[in-house]
């Protein structure tokens, strides 16, 4: 049995994910807001509004403080000479192995929130899809991008 990958994401990534989940939680409150608007027109009972608000608050807190922490703790990766292994997931854990010979392009990405925390993501493109290692320090992301690109070039049989 293959050992688990042993490289973790930066600790700041958890802050970024919690912030993003908090901003996304605003959408949970659209349902109570919609119910309130409809209740003004059709005189619906008030108690479902309070249930919907409580549900939105509970769902938001669960996502921000529990799910994001579980996701951050379980996210791992490892770079080998011939492959990249990713392991992530909260309830369903996925392990992905990307052969270096399949790597077509490696890039770093940095949105405004990641930039504020001096983090970046490394994206690994294959013919089929794009894989991402999120939330690495900027220096580590740049070094990892260059390292994977070098290993991919060495694995290419056409060169």
The reported pLDDT for the residue numbered 1 is 84
Q: Global pTM?
A: 0.87
The SS3 assignment for 141 reads: helix
Are residues 73 and 42 in contact, defined by beta-carbon separation less than 8 angstroms?
A: no
pLDDT tops 70 at residue 141: yes
The sign of the CA dihedral 10, 5, 69, 135 is positive
| DSSP code at position 26 | G
pLDDT tops 90 at residue 155: no
Considering the chain, what is the average pLDDT of its residues?
Answer: 94
Q: In which band, very low, low, confident or very high, does the pLDDT at 2 lie, cut at 50, 70 and 90?
A: confident
Q: Read off the tokens for 106.
A: 């490696």
pLDDT in tens, 33-56: 999 999 989 988 989 999 999 999
pLDDT in tens, 49-104: 999 999 999 999 999 999 999 999 999 999 999 999 999 999 999 999 999 999 99
Q: List Cβ<8 Å contacts ≥24 apart for 14-19.
A: 14/68, 14/69, 14/72, 15/117, 16/113, 16/114, 16/117, 16/119, 16/135, 17/68, 17/71, 17/72, 17/135, 18/64, 18/65, 18/68, 19/113
| DSSP code at position 93 | -
């Amino acid at each position: 049995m293959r050992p688990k990958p042993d490289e973790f994401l930066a600790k700041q990534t958890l802050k970024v994910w919690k912030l993003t989940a908090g901003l996304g939680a605003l959408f949970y409150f659209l349902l109570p807001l919609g119910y309130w608007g409809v209740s003004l027109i059709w005189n619906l009972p008030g108690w479902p509004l309070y249930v919907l608000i409580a549900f939105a608050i509970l769902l938001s807190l669960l996502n921000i403080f529990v799910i994001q922490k579980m996701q951050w703790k379980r996210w791992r990766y490892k770079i080998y000479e011939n492959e990249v292994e990713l392991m992530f997931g909260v309830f369903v854990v996925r392990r992905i192995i990307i052969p270096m010979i399949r790597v077509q392009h490696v890039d770093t990405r940095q949105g405004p929130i990641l930039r504020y925390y001096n983090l970046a993501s490394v994206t690994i493109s294959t013919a089929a899809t794009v894989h991402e290692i999120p939330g690495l320090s900027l220096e580590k992301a740049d070094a990892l991008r260059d390292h994977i690109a070098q290993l991919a070039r060495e694995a290419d049989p056409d060169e």
